[in-house]
Amino acid sequence: MSHETQHDHDHLDPDHEEAHEHEHEHGPLAELVTVRDWLRYAVTRFNRAGIFCGHGVQDSFDEAVWLILGTLALPLDRLEPFLDACIPGEERIGLLEAIEQRADERLPTAYILGEAWLGDFRFTVDERVIVPRSFFAELLEDGLAPWVDAPEAITRALDMCTGSGCLAILMAHAFPNAAITAVDLSDDALDVARINVADYGLEERVELVRSDVFAQVDGRRFDLILSNPPYVTAEAMDALPPEYLHEPRMALASGDDGLDVVRRLLAQAADHLNPGGILAVEVGHNRHIVEEAFPELPFNWLSTRGGDDMVFLLRREDLQHAAVAAD
């Protein structure tokens, strides 16, 4: 048999073709079969890539669980029953793409999945908004007790710098009689917030307003103003892990000391609070900066699982007595 004839014969031989295909089967798509396999691979991949876990999870294992279960549309709180489930070929392709995107591009898992969670609340997210994360989610579980005696007595509340609208939605659930105004300067962020408000059927209770702080809510007064504003210092911005660079800069940076927006809130909030009204603001790890900048204010620092220096609270009367200046 000639070489050409032999080549034609081999080409037509099904057994030869199958053997040829198996010779080229290698890598994750062929070798990783179960959820357990892919979980091990993802953790190793993330550890070697040096990803930063700062969007609601503590380590590479939790990040891998979140990404894998989310990509496979499985319940995020039920890993064990699925560990030894086999993953079909097409789903493996999508899973590999998601893992490589997280490791190589350092894209946050929330953006890859298009969703994020605060407690039991799911929110649509993308790169137009920061990934939802706030100690207010914990504090609102109890309706800001003991500072708010009767959650049902709150009738007007403001979420300043609403982003994805997550806190406005949590406020609507915590204060069932409240009309919520949600403010942001970003049209893109408000477009995402509009999706989330609609998902929870809150269009009649949550008003979305484009405004530079209080500019477009002039003359309105509230029982409660909540804000998780930009508060990252210039020094911290320069040191941010790559994951945070996918988020809108305007939602993070706030001047050299991180207090550009906080100053405006403190200077103007009293004019927008009802008597006895509350201003509560999240400032991350900047308690010392805040207290040094405003020694005249009697800050109340609220206890959270993250510590006692993340969120401050002031009443309208505290702000009036201090007469805070914006600059």
Phi and psi (nearest 5°) for 145?
Answer: -65, 145
84: helix, coil or strand? coil
What pLDDT does 13 receive? 52
What pLDDT does 306 receive? 83
**Mean pLDDT (whole number) for 189-201:** 98
Whether the per-residue pLDDT at 309 is higher than 60: the answer is yes
Task: Write the DSSP string, 179-235.
Answer: EEEEEES-HHHHHHHHHHHHHTT-TTTEEEEE-STTGGGTT--EEEEEE----B-HH
Q: d(Cα 212, Cα 186) in Å, to the nearest integer?
A: 9
Q: d(Cα 109, Cα 101) in Å, to the nearest integer?
A: 9
Whether the per-residue pLDDT at 16 is higher than 70: the answer is no
Instruction: Give the pLDDT confidence of 17-33 residue by residue, as tens digits.
Output: 444 444 335 688 989 99
Query: Which residues 6+ apart lie within 8 Å of 276 measured at CB?
Result: 223, 315, 316, 317
What pLDDT does 28 receive? 84
Whether the per-residue pLDDT at 197 is higher than 60: the answer is yes
* Domain boundaries of the chain, sorted by first residue: 32-113, 127-322
Instruction: Give the pLDDT confidence of 92-137 residue by residue, as tens digits.
Output: 999 999 999 999 999 999 999 999 999 899 999 999 999 999 999 9
What is the helix (H) or strand (E) element at residue 28, kind and residue range? helix 28-31
What pLDDT does 56 receive? 87
Computed from CA positions of residues 7, 12, 16, 21, in that sequence, does the dihedral angle turn out positive or negative? positive
Name residue, tokens 């914006």: 326
Q: d(Cα 315, Cα 300) in Å, to the nearest integer?
A: 9
Instruction: Give the pLDDT confidence of 55-98 residue by residue, as tens digits.
Output: 989 999 999 999 999 999 999 999 999 999 999 999 999 999 99
What pLDDT does 84 receive? 97
| Burial bucket for residue 67 (CB in 10 Å: 0-12, 13-18, 19+) | buried
Instruction: Give the pLDDT confidence of 237-256 residue by residue, as tens digits.
Output: 999 999 999 999 999 999 99
CATH topology of domain 32-113: Helicase, Ruva Protein; domain 3 (1.10.8)
Task: Assess whether the region 32-113 and the region 127-322 belong to the same CATH fold.
Answer: no
* Angular region, 78: left φ>0, alpha ψ -120 to 50, beta rest: beta
Q: Please state, in angstroms and as integers, the Cα–Cα distance from residue 251 to each residue in 168, 175, 261, following that order.
A: 16, 26, 11
Share of the chain above pLDDT 70, in %: 91
Task: Give Dmax over CA atoms of the chain in angstroms.
Answer: 102
Q: Across the chain, what does the average pLDDT equal?
A: 92
Instruction: Give the pLDDT confidence of 248-305 residue by residue, as tens digits.
Output: 999 999 999 999 999 999 999 999 999 999 999 999 999 999 999 999 999 999 999 8
Q: Please state which CATH number belongs to domain 127-322.
A: 3.40.50.150
**Mean pLDDT (whole number) for 168-189:** 98
Q: d(Cα 123, Cα 162) in Å, to the nearest integer?
A: 13
Q: d(Cα 287, Cα 300) in Å, to the nearest integer?
A: 11
Residues recorded for the chain: 327
